[in-house]
Amino acid sequence: MRIMGLDYGTKTVGVAVSDPLGITAQGVETIEIARAGKLRKTFARLEELIKEYEVEHIVLGFPKNMNNTEGERCDATRDFKEKLERRTGLPVTLWDERQTTISAERILQESGVRREHRKEYIDKIAATFILQGYLESLAGKEE
């Protein structure tokens, strides 16, 4: 069973998928959101990827504040989750994404990626961290 990880932002959606055994996460792509609130093309691309990778479950990054409170982005993420579940018919799990973008930024810096090129990769890497965290939590439950 493959699981998809998503990092939903205002301008892009980072996408990652698990290997068939659900052990590792790999970044797939970053989908541009055409206009704020206009997600038709975004959902269409996600549905293509779900079919291509035979995804059965989605993990969506949930952007809590560092003090564990919820802000505006949490509301937008919940709305995106509901629409995604309706469009795909798949279960969507919200997953705490605190520190994932910071970790992704650090990885890109350490890898020598120039600042102006980091935007191309950061959401895909953040989605990978979100999904990998979820996969590791599942592995911990099996032990």
Q: Please state, for a pLDDT cut of 70, what percent of the chain lies above it.
A: 84
Half-sphere exposure of 143 (CA within 13 A, CB side): 5
For all residues of the chain together, what is the average pLDDT? 86
**CATH number corresponding to 2-35+57-65+73-142:** 3.30.420.140
Is 98's pLDDT higher than 90? no
Which band of pLDDT confidence, cut at 50, 70 and 90, is reported for residue 74?
confident
Q: What is the mean pLDDT of residues 55-64?
A: 93
Per-residue burial over 45-64, b = 16 or more CB atoms within 10 Å of its CB, e = otherwise: ebeeebeebebebbbbbbbb
Sequence-distant (6+) residues with CB within 8 A of 13 are 6, 7, 30, 31, 33, 42, 46, 123, 127
Which pLDDT belongs to residue 142?
A: 58
Is 7's pLDDT higher than 90? yes
Q: What is the mean pLDDT of residues 109-123?
A: 70
For the chain, give every domain's residue range.
2-35+57-65+73-142
pTM to 2 decimal places = 0.86
Which pLDDT belongs to residue 63?
A: 87
Which pLDDT belongs to residue 42?
A: 94
